[in-house]
C-alpha cells in the first residue's frame, strides 16, 4: 500500500514536471498570446491538459493493460507530427492580427497530439516498475492530473505580464504574437532536427 501510494505521488509530481517541457510551454504560450487574459489563459492550459491527459490515459492504458508493444519508429513519427504542429501554430501567429479568438477545441487538440506522441514513453516507463495493471492505470491518471494542474497554473501566470503589456501599448499584442510565433517555429524546427539526428535519418539516406 505504501509503495503504491508513493508511486502515485511520484506520478503526480512527474506530471507537473512533464507539463513544463519546452514544446508544451511554447505551444500554449503561442495560443495565450492571442488573448492574454488570466481566465482565458487558464482555460487554454486546462483544455490542453485535459486533451493531453485523455490521450495518455487512453493510449497508455491500452499499452499498460494489454502489455502491447509499440512498433519501432512510431514514437518518432508522432513526435515529428508535434514538430510540424508547432511550426503551423507559429505561422498562424505570425499571420494573425490577434482579433479572432482561438477556437475552444484547439488547445485540447494540441494537447491530444502531445499526449499521443508521449503516451508510449510514459506507459513503458510505468511498465518498467509496475506489474499491476490497475496501479499502472492509476499512475497514468494522476500523471495526467499533474499535467492539468501545472499547465493551468503556468498559463494563468503567463497571462499576467502579457495582459499588462497589451493593455499598456496597442502594438504590444502584435509583438507578442510575433515573438510567440517565432519561438514556436524555432522549437518545432529544433525538435524535428533533434529527431532526425537521434534516429539517424540523415545517415539512412546518405550515399
Q: What would the pLDDT profile of 103-122 be if each residue is shown by its tens digit?
A: 556 889 999 999 888 776 77
Contacts 24+ apart (CB under 8 A), 75-82: 75/117, 75/120, 75/121, 76/195, 76/198, 76/199, 78/113, 78/116, 78/117, 79/117, 79/191, 79/195, 80/192, 80/195, 81/113, 81/117, 82/23, 82/113, 82/114, 82/117, 82/188, 82/191
Least confident of 69-73, 74-78, 167-171: 167-171
Does pLDDT of 170 surpass 70? no
Does pLDDT of 5 surpass 70? yes
CA–CA distance, 115 with 24 (Å, rounded to integer): 10
CA–CA distance, 121 with 117 (Å, rounded to integer): 8
Domain boundaries, the chain: 2-201
Q: pLDDT above 90 covers what percent of the chain? A: 31
Average pLDDT of the chain to the nearest whole number: 82
CA–CA distance, 58 with 53 (Å, rounded to integer): 8
Residue with cell 497554473: 153
pLDDT of residue 189: 96
Its pTM stands at: 0.83
Interval 82-96 mean pLDDT: 90
pLDDT of residue 204: 45
Does pLDDT of 163 surpass 90? no
Amino acid at each position: 500500500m505504501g509503495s503504491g501510494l508513493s508511486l502515485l505521488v511520484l506520478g503526480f509530481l512527474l506530471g507537473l514536471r512533464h507539463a513544463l517541457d519546452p514544446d508544451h510551454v511554447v505551444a500554449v504560450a503561442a495560443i495565450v498570446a492571442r488573448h492574454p487574459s488570466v481566465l482565458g489563459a487558464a482555460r487554454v492550459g486546462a483544455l490542453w491538459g485535459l486533451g493531453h491527459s485523455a490521450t495518455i490515459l487512453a493510449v497508455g492504458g491500452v499499452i499498460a493493460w494489454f502489455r502491447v508493444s509499440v512498433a519501432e519508429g512510431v514514437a518518432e513519427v508522432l513526435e515529428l507530427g508535434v514538430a510540424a504542429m508547432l511550426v503551423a501554430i507559429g505561422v498562424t501567429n505570425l499571420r494573425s492580427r490577434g482579433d479572432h479568438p482561438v477556437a475552444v477545441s484547439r488547445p485540447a487538440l494540441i494537447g491530444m497530439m502531445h499526449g499521443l506522441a508521449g503516451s508510449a514513453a510514459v506507459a513503458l516507463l510505468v511498465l518498467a516498475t509496475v506489474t499491476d495493471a490497475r496501479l499502472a492505470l492509476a499512475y497514468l491518471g494522476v500523471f495526467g492530473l499533474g499535467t492539468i494542474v501545472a499547465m493551468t497554473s503556468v498559463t494563468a501566470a503567463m497571462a499576467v505580464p502579457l495582459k499588462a503589456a497589451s493593455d499598456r501599448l496597442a502594438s504590444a499584442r502584435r509583438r507578442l504574437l510575433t515573438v510567440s510565433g517565432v519561438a514556436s517555429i524555432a522549437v518545432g524546427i529544433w525538435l524535428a532536427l533533434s529527431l532526425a539526428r537521434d534516429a539517424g535519418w540523415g545517415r539512412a539516406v546518405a550515399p
